[in-house]
Every structure is written in C-alpha cells, then in structure tokens.
Amino acid sequence: MKQASSPVSAVFKLLLKWWWLIALSVALGVGVGLFIRIQQPNIYAAKTRILFGQNFASGTTASVVSLRERQDLITVYSGLVRLPTILTPVIEDLGLGISVDQLNGVMRVATFEDLPLLEISIVDTRPDRAADIANRIAQELINQSPTEQVSQETAFKREQLANIQKQIEELQNQYDTNITRGATLTSAFEISQNLTERAALLGNLQQLRSTYAEMSAGMADQLRLLRIFEYANPDSTPVVTGTYISVILAGAAGLLLSVATIVLLAYFDDRLVWQEGMNTLLGVNVLGPLGVVPKNKLPLYIISMPEAMESEVLRQLRAKLVLAAEGTMPKVVTIISYDSGDGKTVTASNLAVAIAQAGHRTLLIDGDIRKGDLHEIFRLPNVMGISDILAGRDDLPPLLSQALLDSGYDRLTILPSGRSTADPAALLSSARFSRLIDLLKTQFDVIVMDSVPTIGGPDSAFMAEVSDGVVIVVDSRRTTEKGLKRTLQALQQARRVNIYGITFNRVYLQATSTHNQPYYRRSASISPERLNRELASAGKRGLQLNRHIVTDNKGDRLYSLKATAIQLGIGEETVKNWVKVGYLNTTRRRGRRWVRESEMQSLLERLPRHQLVRIGERSANGEYATDTSSGHPTAETSLPNLLRDQRNALLDFAREPHIEEPNQTDQS
C-alpha cells in the first residue's frame, strides 16, 4: 500500500497529521483534571510522634530496655494503635461519628529503623481536626500502656485534662457555628462583630490546647516508658493534595491516550494513501494523482479550468496512457473503480474530452448499465443507449445511428447507457457486445468506456476483455487495500485483461512537491470582458485614462504595452525591452506609451522566415529551389488575417476561466 519507510518516519508523519487530536486530548485531559481538582477540598496531614525507652522526666538517659527489645516493642505498639480499644475512646471523645475501620483508613503508622519513634499520621479536610485526632490517639495509646502507673496526682491531672478536653470541644463547636453563621451575614457591622468573636474563640481554643499539651507532658510518672515527643500542630500541617501534579498527570494521560489511539487507527486503517514517488501498488503500475476539484468547476473541469494544474495532471494521464501502450494512443480504454463515488465517471468524462482535444475522434461509452448517469454530465437525454443496442435484434449500424449523440465538444461523441432492463452482465458478456466494439473501432480513433464499479458485479471484467487496457481509479480518502485487491481479483477472472495502471483521485496537489508549481497557474493580464469591451469601443470617444486599446485622430488603433504583449503573445517585460532598444516603436499619448497596430504589423513583416523547397528540385548551384507556391502568401494567409486570427485566439484564451487558489472540495 505504501512505500517502505522507517518506523520513526512513519510515526512522525502520523503525529504530524493528527496533531490537532493530540492537542485536543491534552487540553481535554488538563481541563478535566483541573475541574476535578477544583471540586475536591484540600487534604491536610497531621503527624504526632511518640518516643520510646527514654526517662526524660527524671533527667537520666539510661535505657529502660535493650535496643532490640525496644524495636520489638515499637512494632507491637504500631499494631496496638489500630485496635478498637485505642480508637473507640478517641472517636467518642472527639465526636467524630465514624467507625474504627474508617478511622484506620485515614491513619498511617510509621516506624524508624534507627530512632525509637512511632509516628501517627491523620489526613483530613480540616487541619485542626487532623491534629486533634493524631494527638488524641497518641495520648490514648500512652494512657492504655501497661507501663503507665497512675497516681493520685496523675488521676487528678487526667480529670483536669478531661475537663479541658470538653472545653476544647465546646469552644470548637462555637467556633464552627460562628464560621457558618458568618457566611450568611450581609451587614458590615455584623460581619465585623462576627470576626471579633471568632478571633476571641480561636485565641481561647489555642490557649486551652496549649494548657492541655503542657499538662499531658508533665503528668507521667518517673517510670513511664512512652511519651509524646512531637505534637501535631494545625498551624504547620502541610497540604498533601497534588494540586498541579494531578493536572499534569491528567494531561499526560490525555497525551498517551491520543497517541495510542492514533497508532491503533494507523494499524487497522488500510486506506490507500498517495505518496510522492510511488511507482507500483500491489504489483500494478501507478499512473499518478488526480487533483481535488472545486464543486463549482465540476464535472468537466478540464473545460471550466483548463489552465489549472488539476487539468494538467489529467492531460499527463492521457500522455501516460500513450507511454503505457508503447507509444500509441490505446484504441479502447475502460475506466473502473471498486465502489461508486470514487470519481470514476468524472475521470472518464474529462479524459475523453482531453483525448478529443488532442485531435482524436473520441467515443465516450456509459457502460454502467445498472445506474449510469454519464449523460447528465453532458446535459443529454438517455432515450436509447448501449443497453438497448445489446438487447435488440436489429442490425447494429441503424441502432447506433439513433443512439450516438454529439457531446457539444469537438470530436467527442457520447453513447449513453440506455434504458433496457435486461440482465447487464448477460448483455456485456454476449458476442454482440464484442461485435459492437469492433464496429465502433472503425468509426472512432479512441473509445473510452465508463464501467460498473467492481463491487456491483462482474460487468467491468467483461468490458475489460474487449479493451486494450483498463485504468483503475482509487479514492485517496476512502478506497481500502482490501477493496483494491477485490478489484484486481475481479479483473483476473476475465480471459484477457491488460491493466495500464492505478490513478489516485482527490489528491491535494498543492501539498505535493511535484505538482505545486506556479507554472500551471497562468492568467491573462487583462480580463476577457474588459478586452472585449475595449476592442468593440476602440473608436468611441470617452474617458481613456485606464483603457488599453484606443484610436488616434486618423482612426489608427493604439495598444497599451499590456495589450501589445497579449497581441504578440509575449510577456510585458519583453515588450518594454523591445521599446528600450528601439526594436518596437511607441507613441506617447497623455503620458502613456502606445504601440500602433501598423507598427506591430511592420514588426511581424520584418521577422526572418524560412521558405520551404520542393523535395527533389535543385537549383543550378546544387541547392534546393524555393517553393514558390508557398513563398507568396495568399489572401487567407495574409498578415492582417494572421493578426486577426491571432487576436481571436488570444481572446479565446482570455475568456477561459483561470483559477487562482480554489477552495478545495470533494469531487462527486
């Protein structure tokens, strides 16, 4: 299907082709990630650390237990901290309203290999609540430690701590209520008062927490094994939510998903793709591309835009058929495709016009007996056609004289599909069809046949058998490799088929290096309408500032330099150079240079001309004698008549539409 290329080059071309999908996927991923992140609250992580095995209360540094026993003890306590015995009192005291399993889900317990520390981490949407839970769990673990010796002083302190804990809870509830009520206030005085109350409550709350922490730190007995080494502080609790990382990851996910999708599409997509330098495809020669033609120039774009490169590549296809047929124009050519809509009929019609323009008597046959509409392109009726001729029993010549229609273009005749309802495959496989083609060969130089798509039946194979060769049209946007293989298989079923090659339809020629040439974009320097008007009104009076053809007082025509260039068939720069060197004389009139029509005639008469001689006749000096019959111009070949014919030819060229940069649309 495609010429071999390196995997890196193939992937790069795919990414370059689908860059918009990659950009859209990344933008969509980032947008979704950002939306989800905005909808989620910040998550805070509060950490409390418990110290094992040091008696700081007595001021000594003696180890209570050995290092190994201490590490084993830390491991045991890391499991005990998750038990309902420890967590249930915490849930009840703080009024969390969650289960033990839920609390375990937001708690992380970590140990340190070289340090006698146990770290308890709590994640929550509120930093103060996360700190309270972490500190309370650590304290409950210490309270229920078997090494804790409770004394009267310790019991009193614990009672005081319980009271302080209740006060903290009450103040916390008042603080939360105050925040909720403040969100509904609209009066500036009420908002200010609310903020003052909130600050007072927060100050009292922080003071009680500090008192609670100091009393908790100093209430242990001399033999206490565990103590809180570092309390969780809500003011320094970090945010653990990945604000930017999550968005970046979402964009990366969109990028990977789009690239994977493109690779999968490329792997499973077997549509045929035109590439520069493609010579063969599935063992069949490639004749080249055909362009994308604007809808307003269809169907006969070789007539509506003859100077465009889309028309030029069609004429190149005509020349390639001559090369494929070993130097002569094929007598019978069949145009086929896999499916309808590939551009087969439009290609056949324009190719037939191009062959006729080259001087060949051309017949265009609509062989699509099932759904042929070629007559619509030429605005002709479809009363009688090839299907009626094949289904009839009369002699072929009388039937042909009724069915053959003049196309309206020189040397081009149309044979419509007809309206017979007989079996198309039976008609095209009959001996009468072969006799018909043989008869038509004697009447026309070239026969172009538009066939049924191979997906529609074996009709195209029967037409290929009576042809000198076939051209397969593939749509560069839709025809698959599987479809082309089926077309080749259908043709292989015929007894004798010669395939000239494959042509790719609907290729953006401007995007190719070979056909993106301004050479095919010629345009006249003066519009045809304007030139017609000026030729018709050259002798009339009026404003002549912007005119290109005027007359002087003697009635002689004067041409501007642009009009002179068109009349002589040269470029305007060449005219200016001739004026500079005096090869062409000009007349000044109202500040502009003009060339008299008589001056152009004189220039053409001064041109050196080669005189033909009669073959076999020599003069006395041994040279060939001059052909006197051609040495003197007749009335038909006089210089004024030649100028008139040249002007008319130039006007015909100027009347032809010229395409600058057409909007590319699909061919039908």
DSSP codes joined into one string, 593-614: EEEEHHHHHHHHHHS--PPPEE
Strand partners, 337: 473
Q: Give whole-number Cα distances, 136 to 20, 48, 365, 369, in Å.
A: 55, 9, 96, 92
Mean pLDDT of 7-31: 79
pLDDT digits (tens, 9 = 90+) for 311-359: 999 999 999 999 988 889 999 999 999 998 899 999 999 999 999 999 9
CB 368 within 8 A of CB 451: yes
Mean pLDDT of 570-597: 87
Mean pLDDT of 581-588: 88
Stronger pLDDT, 416 or 566, i.e. the higher one: 416
pLDDT digits (tens, 9 = 90+) for 278-300: 899 999 999 999 999 999 999 99
Which residue in 492, 489, 507, 503 sits closest to 335, CA to CA? 503
Mean pLDDT of 590-619: 73
Q: Quote the Cα angle for 512-518-520, to 5°.
A: 90
- pLDDT at residue 335, as a whole number: 96
pLDDT band at 9 (very low <50, low <70, confident <90, very high): low
Mean pLDDT of 43-60: 68
Question: Which tokens hold the place of 116?
Answer: 């006698």
First to last CA, the chain: 24
- pLDDT at residue 223, as a whole number: 42
- pLDDT at residue 64, as a whole number: 43
Strand partners, 291: 507
- pLDDT at residue 359, as a whole number: 93
pLDDT band at 45 (very low <50, low <70, confident <90, very high): confident
Q: Quote the Cα angle for 414-418-421, to 5°.
A: 160
- pLDDT at residue 657, as a whole number: 52
Candidates 1.10.3720.10, 2.102.10.10, 1.10.760.10, 3.40.50.300; CATH matching 285-519: 3.40.50.300
What is the DSSP pairing of strand 117-124 with strand 44-52?
antiparallel
Candidates 3.90.110.10, 3.30.70.1130, 3.40.50.720, 3.20.20.70; CATH matching 41-148+220-240: 3.30.70.1130
Which residue in 483, 2, 3, 481 sits closest to 271, CA to CA? 481
Q: How far apart are CA 304 and CA 396, in angstroms?
A: 35
Percent of residues, the chain, with pLDDT higher than 90: 31
User: Mean pLDDT over all residues of the chain?
Assistant: 80
Domain segments of the chain as ranges: 7-38+251-268, 41-148+220-240, 150-219, 285-519, 528-655
Least confident of 435-444, 473-482, 565-574: 565-574
Mean pLDDT of 436-458: 93
The three-class DSSP label of residue 70 is: helix
The three-class DSSP label of residue 283 is: coil
- pLDDT at residue 33, as a whole number: 78
- pLDDT at residue 151, as a whole number: 47
Q: Which of 231-235, 513-517, 521-525 has the highest mean pLDDT?
A: 231-235
Question: Which tokens hold the place of 354?
Answer: 């191009």
Stronger pLDDT, 161 or 403, i.e. the higher one: 403
Q: How far apart are CA 405 and CA 175, in angstroms?
A: 98
Residue 28 burial by Cβ neighbours in a 10 Å radius (0-12, 13-18, 19+): middle
The three-class DSSP label of residue 442 is: coil
Question: Which tokens hold the place of 190?
Answer: 């009420």
Q: Where are the beta strands (DSSP E) in 374-498?
A: 405-406, 412-415, 446-450, 469-475
Q: How far apart are CA 78 and CA 71, in angstroms?
A: 11
- pLDDT at residue 57, as a whole number: 39
Element (H, E) at 484: helix 481-492
CB 343 within 8 A of CB 337: yes
Mean pLDDT of 610-621: 52
